[in-house]
Amino acid sequence: MTASPASAPARLLRRALRAPEADRANALPAGAWWLWALGLATAASRTTNPLLLGLLVGVAGYVVAARRTDAPWARSYGAFVKLGLFVVALRLVFSVLLGSSIPGSHTVLTLPELPLPDWAQGVRIGGRVTAEQLVFSLYEGMKLATLLICVGAANALANPARLLKSLPGALYEAGVAVVVAMTFAPNMVADVVRLRTARRLRGRPTGGVRAVAQIGLPVLEGALERSVAVAASMDARGYGRTAQVPAAVRHTTNVLTLGGLLGVCAGTYGLLAAQGAVYGLPLLLASLVTAMAGLRLGGRRSVRTRYRPDRWGVRAWLVACSGAAVAAAMIWAGAVDPEALRPGVVPLTAPVLPLWPAAAALIGLLPALVAPVPPSNRAVADRPVRRGKEQA
Amino acid sequence: MIRFERVSVRYEGTERPTLSGVDLTVPEGELVLLVGPSGVGKSTLLGTVSGLVPHFTGGLLSGRVTVDSRDTRTHKPRELADLVGTVGQDPLAHFVTDTVEDELAYGMESLGLAPDVMRRRVEETLDLLGLAELRDRPIATLSGGQQQRVAIGSVLTPHPKVLVLDEPTSALDPAAAEEVLAVLQRLVHDLGTTVLMAEHRLERVVQYADQVVLLPAPGAAPVMGPPAGIMKVSPVRPPVVELGLLAGWDPLPLSVRDARRGAGGLRERLADASPPEAPGAPPASEQPGAAVPVRTGVAPASGPGSAAAPVPVAAAERSRPGRLARLLGQGRDRTGSPGTSGASATPAADPVTRVDGLGVRRGRVEALRRVTLTVAPGETVALMGRNGAGKSTLLGALVGMIEPTAGTVRVGGLAPARTDPRAMVRRVGLVPQEPRDLLYADTVAAECAAADRDAGAAEGTCRALVSELLPGVGDDTHPRDLSEGQRLALALALVLTGRPPLLLLDEPTRGLDYAAKARLVGVLRGLAAEGHAIVLATHDVELAAELAHRVVILADGEVVADGPTGRVVVSSPAFAPQTAKILAPQEWLTVSQVRGALEAGA
């Protein structure tokens, strides 16, 4: 509560720490967000403590709320949360119907049990439902849901197109194809909406099987036409231009890539088959390296350059490392104090929030402080004209 | 820069070549305009320059096209990408990435330019096209004019020597079109880019052209020459040229400015005559309301007052002092308190539709606010305003596709959004922006049979309409094989099968040439004379001048002007037709009015 002005170094430090407004130049690489989210997900996979899981969900949710833009892909977070809740519910339903191997003494209810033949021994449908079993399924379901929500957070924060941009040169064109395919789906949805309204204009009901059948063909037709138009545009703008490479390099590329891929197949087979475990792993690794070298060399054929690739600055490292730190702390806590991370269900005990792992989970909030702030919703003022037209 | 040597193109399965005998040279640094009726192969000719014809589209190209001495037969489109920039009709189909800056860089990335060069050129192009504010925006959120500028910018960054544009301004409102044309002008003048452009809306572009290439008919050899010379013989020409020919001006003016300089004499000759009250439409006084010829069997609206309705409105407006007062007065009248003297004439006819304080929200965006509008039988209303002003939304609310969030909409006494579509078909019909959306069937005949069933009309009703609107189209024709104008006519016939007293059209002239437009104007005038109320949303000021009794201008979802066409458009720099601009302050809107007056005076 001192009124004295902060000292000069402190002010400088605070200015340096304050997150700048996000723009193209300081945008965090998509990879940083994914590392952060995967860190949180790894941490979540190490615990079934509902309090810790809740904390992790809260951390991810807070960062999304603080740092997501109003771009279309940012809306996917809500969908992932719903998916998570669905997973929890599903897990509980299955547990109630199919029973569980968890021994328990607190019977909640007893369902009529379906008599099954001998060969289905070990499977049970219906029967006694215990509180222990329900709590166990709830914990497991929450773990899965938390994983999903972490992935959803990465999806909402990082532009998927940018992520594809960081592919190696030889795979770039495949990446573009994927991006174009991804824009295909929303366009088709818009088409369906437009054609349904057009049906209304002809005085036909918009629902029903017949409506879907009649709309289907024009929608596919429209989607196909659009793809052809985009392909023409890409062609006219130099997509797929290749550089002249010496024949030797070309052949080497082919041999390396093909050989590498074959090796990967053989190695994987070796790993999975019972007797090949000795040579499986080394073969797999060696052929992976070969395939990578082939791809690398193949990149020479592509003349592409990259416009303003994302830069890994201090902030990107901080974001990525905060996720890694959470994961590391949780793994370490799992080794030191497994009881706290996996609260017992037999006998039933109230879960306790372990202090140190919880504090470590809070490190995941760092991005909400250091990541550049997305600009306020200035795009709202200029509304999406075209989309409006299509709905009309 | 571009040389065509005895070029002809024939597509698979067609009897005659789409293009033949094209022998042209487009010199460097010129803006060359390609004109001609629909379907003469303008797009094909443009496609040969970028190599998309025949490498991408198929078909057989004979002869030779060279661009900067690169032969398009041996160079694929991607190998011409550093030389030719192509922008097609629909900018949305052009975009590969999702933000403005990435889109500008895409072409350069493909060509493998160095990162610092790319960065510099993107910044230059952002400034050149005035896109700097939009650099981080997702492309889907931009307006039509902005998208078109991004599309042009995205092909400019690799510094092509040739720019090929297919109808760059057709989908744009007048202001956005000027934006785009100003950019093209600047490219030609400052950077020496060669521009080859096809465009139907000649009134917007012809004055910027250095040369005009006319494709007179499918398969006919093109004619190239200076714009004034070609315009004299062209089957398609803008109003300013029509007026120039009518008045016998020499040299032929191509811009409003040139025409105004020579228009003094014409203005004097016209000083005594006065433009007809309801512009474009046959003067209402000549139509005794009860004797309206009912051709398509529309119920003859509602007694004698109906067809004459527009005129009293116009007369009433005359007596008011200022424009603002008139607008305000009009607004009051339409909310249902006819306090002033002249306005009492309007409600005499039962309105076909009455919109009261209509508001529509989409998410957080208020697409329409407090819109109040009535349309009387036989009246034609043009809705104008920039892209995204809410024109299509208003039409959507009238037809029941969009539920109002505030206020009421009544069409024939019913709320459209709450009524069964099968009942609405007989009260209101909308021809959407893309008439193709209305067509599902494989043949015209099947389409007609379905329309009769949908509307509960007698068998053959629709087919009769089609024969009238679209003579010479066989039953077995696939709707997809029709031209843009024919498809519009077919959609119009389908909609008219239900005999709706209220007919709505959304951008009906997009992609139509002058001949198709003239046919459309004739058809719509006939319908209005039969007592159909027509509301059209359009950017085409010439169409509004030809057709509309009343113009309603929307901006940001609000009605900012509502009055007789003459009064509203003459004073507006953006919405005035060329004839009005040339002959201002006299209130002539179309060349045909002037012709009529001159003939009457002679």
Which single residue is written with the structure tokens 């007694």?
B303
Which range has the top average pLDDT, A351-355, B2-6, B433-437? B2-6
Determine the pLDDT at residue B349. 61
**Per-residue pLDDT at A324:** 94
- DSSP string covering B279-344, please? SSSPPGGGS-GGG---SS----BTBTTTTTTHHHHHHHHHH-S-HHHHHHHHHHHHTT---STGGG
Residue B252, amino acid = L
CA atoms within 13 A on the CB side of B272: 5
**Cross-chain Cβ contact B81/A236 below 8 Å:** yes
Which tens digits make up the pLDDT trace of B159-211? 999 999 998 887 778 888 888 898 899 889 988 999 999 998 898 899 899 99
Tokens coding B356? 């009261």
Best of B96, B426, B438, B506 to mutate (most A CBs within 10 Å, chain A): B96
- CA distances in angstroms from B367 to A389, B308, B363, B364, B540, listed in the order given: 11, 33, 10, 9, 22
CB interface of B with A, residues 217-276, below 8 Å: none
- Chain B positions touching A241 (Cβ under 8 A) are 78-79, 81, 110-112
Per residue in B254-298, pLDDT tens? 999 999 888 888 888 888 887 765 444 443 333 333 333 334 333
Q: Which residues of chain A make contact with B461, given a CB cutoff of 8 A?
A: none
Res A171 pLDDT > 80: no
Would the CB atoms of B140 and A226 count as touching at under 8 Å?
no
Cβ-nearest to A388 among B362, B430, B498:
B362
- Tell me how far apart the alpha carbons of residues B323 and B444 are, in angstroms, rounded to a whole number: 48
Q: Which of A195, A237, A385 sits opposite B81 (nearest CB)?
A: A237
Partner A contacted by B396 (CB < 8 A): yes
* Cβ-Cβ contacts under 8 Å for B521 (sequence gap 6 or more): B280, B543, B546, B547
Q: Can you give the pLDDT at residue A376? A: 62
Q: pLDDT band for position A194 (50/70/90)?
A: confident
Q: Report H helices in B161-304.
A: 174-186, 202-205, 227-233, 239-247, 256-262, 264-270
CA distance B205 to B224: 16
Alpha-carbon distance of B589 to B274, in angstroms, equals: 11
Residues A202, B438: C-beta atoms closer than 8 Å: yes
Partners of A387 on chain B (C-beta within 8 Å) are 140
Contacts of B506 in chain A (CB under 8 A): 392
Residues of B whose CB is below 8 A from A218: 436-437, 440
Tell me the nearest-neighbour CA distance from A386 into chain B, angstroms.
7
Q: How far apart are CA B249 and CA B531, in angstroms?
A: 40
Whole-number pLDDT of residue A275: 67
For the ranges A29-43, A62-76, B281-295, B443-457, the maximum mean pLDDT occurs at A29-43
What kind and span of H or E run contains B383?
Answer: strand B380-384
Q: How far apart are CA A343 and CA B506, in angstroms?
A: 65
The verdict on a CB contact (< 8 Å) between B77 and A235 is: yes
Nearest to B194 by CA among B213, B170, B210, B177: B210
CA atoms within 13 A on the CB side of B577: 31
Q: Quickly list H helices, A68-104.
A: 76-98
Q: What value does the mean pLDDT take over residues B120-135? A: 89
Dihedrals phi, psi of B421, to nearest 5 degrees: -55, -35
Give CA separation, B486 vs A202, B18, B477, B515, B520, in Å: 18, 19, 11, 12, 10
Angle at CA of residue B178, ends B177 and B181, nearest 5°: 90
Angle formed by the axes of helices A30-45 and A314-336, to 10°? Answer: 10
Q: What is the 3-state secondary structure (H, E, C) of B109-153?
A: HHHCCCHHHHHHHHHHHHHHCCCHHHCCCEHHHCCHHHHHHHHHH
- Check A24 against B433: CB less than 8 A apart: no
Q: What is the chain A residue with the closest CA to B417?
A: A200
Contact state of A24 with B101 under an 8 Å Cβ cutoff:
yes
d(CA A276, CA B395): 71
pLDDT tens-digit readout, B57-70: 888 899 999 999 99
The pLDDT score that the predictor gives to residue A43 is 92
Find chain A residues with C-beta within 8 A of B93's C-beta. 226, 229-230, 233
Mode of pairing for the β-strands spanning B380-384 and B550-555? parallel
Residue B96 sits at the chain A interface (C-beta within 8 Å): yes
pLDDT at B104 over 90: yes
- Which amino acid is residue B248, in one-letter code? G
Is B367 within 8 Å of chain A by CB? yes
Residue A392 scores a pLDDT above 90: no
DSSP type of residue B534: E
| In the block, residue with structure tokens 């509301």 | B535
Distant-in-sequence, close-in-space partners of B141: CB < 8 Å, separation ≥ 6: A379, A382, A383, A384
pLDDT class of B344 with cuts at 50, 70, 90? very low
Q: Which of B354, B387, B336 is nearest to B149 (CA)?
A: B387
The strands making up B70-71's β-sheet, listed across from edge to edge, are B19-26, B2-10, B60-67, B70-71
Task: Quickly state the pLDDT bin for B365 (edges 50, 70, 90).
Answer: confident
> What is the pLDDT at residue B371?
92
Task: Tell me whether strands B428-431 and B502-506 are parallel, antiparallel or unpaired.
Answer: parallel
Residue A142, pLDDT score = 94
> How far does the CA of residue B360 sit from the closest CA of chain A (Å)?
12
For residue B94, give the nearest of A233, A303, A380 by CB distance.
A233
Flag if B138 and A218 touch (Cβ within 8 Å).
Answer: no
CB-CB under 8 Å, A387 with B140:
yes
**Are the C-beta atoms of residues B150 and B158 closer than 8 Å to each other?**
no
- The b/e string for B499-531 (b: 16+ C-beta within 10 A; e otherwise) is bbbbbbbbbbbbbbbbebbebbbebbbbbbbbb
Mean pLDDT (chain A, rounded): 81
Q: Kindly determine whether residue B81 and residue A226, on different chains, have CB atoms separated by under 8 Å.
A: no
Q: Which positions in chain A touch B79 (Cβ < 8 Å)?
A: 241
R_g over Cα of chain B: 25
Residues 109-138 of B with CB under 8 A from A: 109-115, 118-119, 122, 135-138
Q: What does the angle CA B440 – CA B443 – CA B445 come to, to the nearest 5 degrees? A: 105
Residues contacting A86, CB < 8 A, separation 6+: none
Are B358 and B552 contacting, i.e. CB atoms less than 8 angstroms apart?
no
CA angle B307, B591, B318 (to 5 degrees): 50
Give pLDDT tens digits for A333-391. Answer: 988 888 888 887 878 888 888 899 999 999 999 999 888 888 764 443 343 433 333 33
Q: What is the dihedral of CA A207, A208, A211, A216, to 10 degrees?
A: 100
Using left for φ > 0, alpha for ψ between -120 and 50, and beta otherwise, residue A383 falls in beta
Of A203, A226, A391, the CB nearest to B421: A203
Contact B399 A389 (CB under 8 A): no
Residue type, A92: L
Q: Which residues in chain B have Cβ-Cβ distances shorter than 8 Å to A197?
A: 396, 401
- Position B394 scores a pLDDT of 92
More confident residue, A61 or B310: A61
Q: Which residue of A has its CA nearest to B430?
A: A201
B103: closest CA of chain A, how far (Å): 10
Between A134 and B327, the more confident residue is A134
In chain B, the residue whose alpha carbon lies closest to the alpha carbon of A197 is B401
Which of B46, B50, B78 to probe by mutation at the A interface, max A CB count within 10 Å?
B78
CB contact under 8 A, A71 and B76: no
Banded model confidence at residue B320, pLDDT cuts 50, 70, 90: very low
B382-402 confidence digits (pLDDT tens): 999 887 788 888 999 999 888
* Interchain pair B118, A307: CB under 8 A: yes
**Residue of A212, A385, A390, A391 to mutate, interface with B, max B Cβ within 10 Å:** A385
What pLDDT score does A282 carry?
84
3-state SS record for B572-601? CCCCCCHHHHHHCCCCCCCHHHHHHHHHHH
Nearest neighbour of A194 by CB, restricted to B399, B437, B454? B437
The confidence score (pLDDT) of residue B279 equals 45
Chain B residues in contact with A231 by the CB 8 A cut-off are 56
Give the model's pLDDT for residue A367: 92
Q: Is B194 helix (H, G, I), strand (E, B) or coil?
A: strand
Q: Is B18 helix (H, G, I), strand (E, B) or coil?
A: coil
Nearest C-alpha in A relative to B393: A392
Tell me, yes or no, if the pTM score tops 0.90: no
The C-alpha atoms of residue A125 and residue A123 are separated, in whole angstroms, by 7
Q: Tell me the shortest Cα–Cα distance from B107 to chain A, in angstroms.
A: 5
Number of H helices, E strands in chain A: 15, 2
Its sign, for the CA torsion B174, B177, B179, B182, is negative
CA B209, CA B214: separation in Å to the nearest integer? Answer: 13
pLDDT at B327: 41
Question: Is B56 touching A (CB cutoff 8 A)?
Answer: yes
Mean pLDDT of A175-186: 69
pLDDT at B406 over 60: yes
At residue B67, the pLDDT reads: 93
- The token pair that represents A372 in the structure block: 């550049």
For residue range A207-237, list pLDDT tens digits in order.
667 777 777 777 888 778 887 888 888 888 8
**pLDDT by residue (tens digit) across B141-151?**
787 778 888 99
Cβ neighbours of A390 (radius 10 Å):
18
Query: How many angstroms away from the CA of B101 is the closest CA of chain A?
Result: 9
> What's residue B178's pLDDT?
86
Task: Determine the pLDDT at residue A228.
Answer: 82
With a pLDDT cut of 90, the percent of chain B lying above it is 30
The nearest CA of chain B is from the CA of A42 a distance in Å of 32
Chain B residues in contact with A305 by the CB 8 A cut-off are 108-109, 112-115, 118
How near does any CA of chain A get to the CA of B163, in Å?
Answer: 12
Query: Longest Cα pair distance anywhere in chain A, in angstroms?
Result: 82
Residue contact A236–B79, C-beta within 8 A: no
Contact B172, B145 (CB under 8 A): yes
A127-130 and B162-166: which strand pairing? Answer: unpaired
Using CA atoms, how far apart are residues B241 and B236, in angstroms rounded to an integer? Answer: 10
- Chain A / chain B CB contacts < 8 angstroms: 202
Which of A201, A382, A386 is closest, CB to CB, to B438?
A: A201
Residues B554, B395 contacting (CB under 8 angstroms): no
**pLDDT value, residue B212:** 94
Top mean-pLDDT range of A84-88, A201-205, B8-12, B331-335: A84-88
Q: How far apart are CA B106 and CA A161, in angstroms?
A: 13
Residue of B493, B518, B497, B517 lying closest to B507 (CA atoms)? B517
Contact list in A for residue B138 (CB cut-off 8 A) is 71-72, 379
Rounded to whole angstroms, how far apart are CA atoms B204 and B176?
11
Task: Supply the pLDDT for residue A276.
Answer: 60
pLDDT of residue B492 exceeding 80: yes
Residue B120 corresponds to which tokens in the numbers above? Answer: 């510099």
**What does the mean pLDDT of chain B come to?**
82
